[in-house]
Amino acid sequence: MTSERSIDAPKGTTLRVYRLLLTAQNPIGPREVQRALNLSSPSIAIYHLTKLEELGLAKNEKGNYVVNKVVLEDCIRINRYLIPRFLFYSIILVATLIVEVVILRPPILTRSYFFLTIMLGGSALAFCYETFKIWRKGSL
């Protein structure tokens, strides 16, 4: 996302509504949004759905809303799940680290082996941290 577009990106409750639309398998109406997000009234849900419609991220189809455009910055959509893309890198690096430590351990431990192990461990830790941060943030 460029800096111009990040100004138009949904935030707060509008972002929560957008994420709900992304994970919904069928078109969803204002009442369902209200119930799912514990909003005080359907009019608040309509306000946020209209805001998403104005941004071009959702469209109204006979009173129900669907995602018009998928904007995912650090996530991949698989079916109705949003998965941080760093999760895949984390899994690959952790698996590589386990294989290196358990299976490929040389009989004589050298500096290069320790260096490789530390680099793999640090990289895996960094990607796990980024994955956790994105999941907690709930970004687009």
Answer yes or no: are the C-beta atoms of 69 and 57 closer than 8 Å: yes
Contact assessment for residue 14 and residue 52, using Cβ atoms and an 8 Å cutoff:
yes
Task: Going residue by residue through the chain, which has 140 residues, state the pLDDT in tens, using 9 for 90 and above.
Answer: 444 444 467 778 888 898 888 888 888 899 999 999 999 888 999 999 999 988 888 888 888 888 877 776 677 777 777 788 899 999 999 999 999 999 988 888 899 999 999 999 999 999 999 998 888 776 55
Please state which architecture CATH assigns to domain 3-67: Orthogonal Bundle (1.10)
The pLDDT assigned to 47 comes to: 93
The model's pTM: 0.58
Which one-letter amino acid corresponds to residue 136?
A: R
- Where do the structural domains in the chain lie, given as residue ranges? 3-67, 75-137
pLDDT for 97 equals: 93
